[in-house]
Amino acid sequence: MVLTAELLQATLEHLVLTYTALIAGILVAIPLIFLSLYSAGLASIIMRFSNLFQAVPSFAVVAVVVPLIGIGFMPAVIAIMLRVLLPIIKNTYIGLFNVDPALIESSKGIGLTDFQILRNVRLPNAYPAIFAGIKFAAILANSIAVLTALIGGGGLGSMIFEGFTNFNTAKVLAGVLPVIGIALFLDFSFSKIERWLTPEYLRK
């Protein structure tokens, strides 16, 4: 059936978009995280602004990308990435710095350098938070990927909107259900991995 081939194509586009944006987000986040490690002051300023920016509706963010960058796949990726950066950075930062101060104190006491502390103490402690951040980002990316269909990103979103304008309920559903399915799948599988990665002593 034509619908099925179209559906498969759309789903594929959607997934490519979502994952590309997610990975791009993670890659961009890493240097920013290192930056925030070196300057706590700069970090808090960046966080404060980003928190404000997150309040802006996603639809507006997606729309504004058009005059500033253009339409098509790349702008779609960038739109999603902008949204997804903050949760990743924020969660990673909190995970790295919410370590029990007594632990840090004793690590310094036995002679670890700051970098070694980062690698051996903070990082293991941060895994669950980092993963929670990426999980949240993935679900968010999946959601915004639908919106980016409006700016030429293709994917399941375009199926939904086409179906909508043509009053084709079947097409709309065919677009929406996979999106929901992907979201639930992402939530479920990420939670499982998260639990697997959490060291025993941190499990509540």
Partner 1 sequence: MKGDQLTTWSINEIFAEILRVWTTQLLTLRTLEHLYMFAVALFFSVLAGVLIGVLTYRNPRFADPIFNGLNIVETIPDVALLVLLLPVFGIGKGPTIVASILYSILPIARNTYTGLSNVPGQYLEIAEAMGLTRREILFEVRFPLSLPLIAGGIRIAVVFTMGVVTLGGLIAAGGLGAALQNGIQLYDMGTILVTGTWVGILAVFLDGAAGAIEHILQVRYGKWS
For partner 1, the binding residues (CB under 8 A) are 52-61, 63-64, 66-68, 70-71, 139, 142-143, 146-147, 150-151, 157, 160-161, 164, 169, 172, 176, 179-180, 183-184, 187
> If you ran DSSP here, which 8-state letter would residue 201 be given?
G
**CB nearer to partner 1: pick between 22 and 126:** 22
Compute the distance between CA of residue 78 and CA of residue 68 in angstroms, rounded to an integer.
11
Distance between the two ends of the chain, CA-based, in angstroms? 49
Q: Which residues contact 16 (CB under 8 A, 6 or more apart)?
A: none
Pseudo-torsion of CA 14, 15, 17, 20, nearest 10°? 180
**CB nearer to partner 1: pick between 25 and 157:** 157
In 21-157, the DSSP E strands lie at none
**From the DSSP assignment, how many helices (H) and strands (E) are in the chain?**
9, 0
Compute the distance between CA of residue 132 and CA of residue 115 in angstroms, rounded to an integer.
24
In angstroms, give the least distance from the CB of 173 to partner 1.
8
Six-digit token pair at 53? 């920016």
In angstroms, give the least distance from the CB of 69 to partner 1.
9
**CB nearer to partner 1: pick between 34 and 53:** 53
> If you ran DSSP here, which 8-state letter would residue 70 be given?
-
**CB nearer to partner 1: pick between 91 and 107:** 91
In angstroms, give the least distance from the CB of 204 to partner 1.
15
In angstroms, give the least distance from the CB of 58 to partner 1.
6
Exposure pattern of 125-163 as b/e (b: 16+ CB <10 Å)? Answer: bbebbbbbbbbbbbbbbbbbbbbbbbbebbbbbbbbbbb
In angstroms, give the least distance from the CB of 82 to partner 1.
12
**CB nearer to partner 1: pick between 67 and 109:** 67
Residue 120, sorted as left (phi over 0), alpha (psi -120 to 50) or beta, turns out to be alpha
**CB nearer to partner 1: pick between 51 and 120:** 51
In angstroms, give the least distance from the CB of 67 to partner 1.
4
